[in-house]
Amino acid sequence: MTVVGPFGLSVRDQALETDVQAGLAAVEEGLLDATKSEVPFITEAAQHLVRAGGKRFRPLLVMLASQFGDPHAPGVVPSAVVVELTHLATLYHDDVMDEADVRRGVPSANSRWDNSVAVLTGDFLFARASHILADLGPEAVRIQAGAFERLVTGQILETAGPRDGRDPIDHYLDVMAGKTGSLVAVSCRFGAMIAGADESVVDILTQYGERLGTAFQLADDVLDIASDSHESGKTPGTDLREGIPTLPVLHLRAMAEAEERPEDIELCARLDGDLSGDAELAAVLEQLRAHPALEQARRDTVRYAEEARAALAPLPDCYAKSALAELCDAVVHRAG
């Protein structure tokens, strides 16, 4: 048994381990190649987050999904490069919108250079992803375009907020499905489809990816409050300080509105106040860590992860299926 990829995923089969390790290594080379430019400054900016590392969660899913067909099909690695480039591009743009200072433990592109450089670098990565995608055929282009539309729509809906009468938590879960679930679903879909898996298998893995991606994002929400050292490179409470609504906070606000407990109302007021000071942020984090809202967010994370696992049931038993199921456990463990 060998540990590979993010979350300490254990692979119990030598052939699967070899394929996954080789695939991820090829993706890394592909990312560096795709982010090279004749302009040295563009190369430096485009490779900034590539070289900072990351879980390569989406490429790993491409590799595992490809095991249900021919994992050595020529388009598998390029499709993994496409989804990771797309993901990286969104991070450059997210950091500008969130005015973030740190990403993956290094200065964000917008803080190292400026917002214009960060936005244009993200655009450059989208362009390079599209160039690779064109060689994968029109169906792959349509799938990626649909996922990208959902991703952008999710971002816009997050910015706009829920319409009048819409439950904020339902709205938020839809946003997460668009912002994160869509591209994770495409990772699974590309891996299986390009490897030549049966259409029914492609559909199952797409459904799995959608749910897993949402669980993954919800786990990040829990980690922002519950962790001592945030896995994304951000310090705990970053989202709180920036006023970004997360699932535990939305649950807190719903509980405060429904139950009208003075301590919940007071905590909501503190969240709406000035959290720029470390002492105040630490105090709010301490209260949230002891609040039932955080546990409810954990339960939501587990629910989506279990839905992802259940989606795998019709697939034939194999080492790749076991690895995909283990990722459900790993996501839940992150939020534990």
| Main-chain dihedrals φ then ψ at residue 220, nearest 5 degrees | -60, -40
249 has a pLDDT exceeding 90: yes
Torsion over CA: 208, 214, 217, 221 (sign): negative
pLDDT reported for residue 244: 82
Beta strands at 9-11 and 106-107: parallel, antiparallel or unpaired: unpaired
Predicted pLDDT at 311: 97
Distance CA 39, CA 250 (A): 45
Give the confidence band of 232 by pLDDT, cuts at 50, 70, 90.
Answer: very low
The pLDDT confidence band at residue 270, using thresholds 50, 70 and 90, is very high
pLDDT bucket at 181, cuts 50 / 70 / 90: very high
Tell me whether the CATH fold assigned to 14-197 matches the one assigned to 199-320: yes
pLDDT in tens, 93-149: 666 666 566 666 676 666 666 677 778 888 889 999 999 999 999 999 999 999 999
Tokens of 67: 């095991």
The dotted CATH code for 199-320 is 1.10.600.10
Give per-residue pLDDT as tens, 283-302: 999 999 999 999 999 999 99
Evaluate if residue 162 carries a pLDDT over 70.
Answer: yes
pLDDT value of residue 101: 60
Lowest-pLDDT range of 65-74, 154-163, 204-213: 154-163
Task: Report the pLDDT value the prediction gives residue 98, as an integer from 0 to 100.
Answer: 61
Q: What is the pTM of this model?
A: 0.88
At residue 177, the pLDDT reads: 94
Neighbours of 125 (CB within 10 A): 27
Query: What is the per-residue pLDDT across 187-214, written as a single tens digit (0 to 9) for each?
Result: 999 999 999 999 999 999 999 999 999 9
Q: For residue 278, count CB atoms less than 10 angstroms from its CB and return exposed for 0-12, middle for 13-18, buried for 19 or more.
A: exposed
Mean pLDDT calculated for residue range 262-274: 90
d(CA 157, CA 172): 9
What does pLDDT average to over the chain? Answer: 87
Where are the domains positioned within the chain? 14-197, 199-320
**What's the CATH number of domain 14-197, 2.40.30.20, 1.10.600.10, 3.30.70.790, 1.20.120.530?**
1.10.600.10
Average pLDDT over residues 39-54: 81
Quick one: what percent of the chain has pLDDT higher than 70?
Answer: 88
